[in-house]
Amino acid sequence: MIKISYKFKNIATPVSSLLLMAVFLLTACKDQQQPGNLQQVVKRGTLKVGTLFGPKNYYIGATGQRGFEYELAREYADYLGVKLEIVPSYTLNELFPKIDNGEVDILAAGLTVTPERLEKYRFSPSYANISQKLVFKQGREWPRKIEDLSGSLQVAEFSSHAENLQALKAKHPNLSWTETDEFDSDELLIEVMEERLDFTIADSNTLAISRRYFPEISVAFTVQQPQPIAWMLSKQGDDSLLSSVVEFFGQAHHDGTILTLDDKYYGHIQEFNYVDTRTFIEAVGDKLPKYRTLFKRYGEAMDWRFLAAISYQESHWEPHARSYTGVRGMMMLTLPTAKQMGVVSRLDAEQSIRGGAKYFQKLINRIPDRIKDPDRKWFALAAYNVGWGHMEDARVITERLGGDPDRWVDVKESLPLLKQRKYYKNTKYGYARGDEPVRYVENIRAYYDTLLFLEKDKGDSPAVEAATE
């Protein structure tokens, strides 16, 4: 509640004026936000959620609002039967006052649960754990422990990184750093890469994404062991909103909502291969320019960068690539598939790209309409690699095991089972190296994310835009 104070001169005040003032004060108090009050949210018909701009939390894509936190908050608003209103901020020092003054009901911004924050706020159940890593650009001297630090270290102001450093300083009095509200943690990684800064601290999930674009980011050591991240709520008001959030998270964990979102945004970036990433980035500069026009011409329906990512996984953009299995060309088509797609020469780059795009679209069209993007694309990619028949077998196994055959996060767990006799002997198409399409899909998603970032300055949509749609 906002405290309103007045100073009165030593003059007589009419009774009517005092009555009007009392009415005004009562009305003002009534209109103020009551943090943590579920009844108010339902009555208002809107859930107000504060978050931070960024690819992990919230951003505006070509087709609307996107981001892990945005989608999870939208699920909660639907759970309550109210509309979602996102109130974004650029920095943490802009964000926290919004929950303090009741401007928002919840903060959903990938916030770490720290001892300092627990003293001031309530938190939802955790939906992930992240650790903190000290990072630097490859090539400089590698510090192995805090005592080895020599150079500039900077972190975002009001961040959990700053809180942790303050705690560490008690044991390491010589530890020094600066804090900034000019850059967020993602931007500080760029400062390190541009060698304007020696060190920063990155959360493990941020690092997993960023190393796809900046493979030279090196991890010195772990600064903080895994901590939970959760939504933040005010300690003011009653417990009704927090109780509702706890119930929602119980359901979201049980029905796979959180698992599906986690796979959508992070499922393809768990493992980092420096050599492969570095080689791909070099190929984007050396090889891709020769074929960019063809990918744009035939990949318009799916985003040309997605088609290019498939082609790189298949042939590393080598038009005369061939495999011992008999597949050939930029898109590594089998001879029967090439004939079906009207490809006369599989070693002709344009014909191969055109045929591959046509075949992928055919696979997309074959998938039941009830399966929506992005799962629809992942199913089609896996079928491109292993064949639709084996995909159907994996979906049957998924259903038998109690999973959802229309959800990629469940089916990708069943695909490797096609290598085990006790599973494939009861399928229509039999044995398959089912782990290969899983890696295949994850590789293409990673290449695609990297392309989105590297090509963002060439008049295309922003990074991460289509990768999560």
Is the bond into 228 cis (omega within 30 degrees of 0)?
no
Half-sphere exposure (CA, 13 Å, Cβ side) for 388? 13
Choose among 280, 291, 295, 298: nearest CA to 453. Answer: 280
Q: Which amino acid is at 211?
A: R
Residue pair 277/450 in contact by the 8 Å Cβ criterion: yes
In degrees, rounded to 5, the angle at the alpha carbon of residue 245 between the alpha carbons of residues 242 and 249 is 140
Rg of the chain on CA atoms, in Å: 27
Pairwise CA distance, residues 64 & 74, whole Å: 13
Amino acid at 273: N
Contact 393, 428 (CB under 8 A): yes
CA distances from 35 to 29, 48, 95, 388 (A): 13, 11, 15, 51
| Lookup: tokens for 206 | 């941020």
Give 396's contacts (C-beta < 8 A, 6+ positions apart). Answer: 405, 427
Beta bridge partners of 322: 328
Question: Measured between alpha carbons, how far is residue 277 from residues 73, 154, 193, 208, 240 in Å?
Answer: 33, 27, 16, 12, 48
362: alpha, beta or left, given left = phi > 0 and alpha = psi -120 to 50? Answer: alpha
Question: 327 and 313 in contact (C-beta within 8 Å)?
Answer: no
DSSP class of residue 126 equals: P
Q: Which residues contact 407 (CB under 8 A, 6 or more apart)?
A: 256, 260, 375
Catalytic hit among 69, 119, 314, 318: 314
Annotation marks residue 194 as catalytic: no
CA 277 to CA 287: how far, in whole Å?
15
Q: Is 84 helix (H, G, I), strand (E, B) or coil?
A: strand
Is residue 342 packed enough to be buried (19+ CB in 10 Å), middle (13-18) or exposed (0-12)?
A: exposed
Q: Tell me if 361 sits within 8 A of 301, measured CB to CB.
A: yes
- Cα 298 from chain centre: 28
Query: Annotated catalytic sites, by residue?
Result: 314
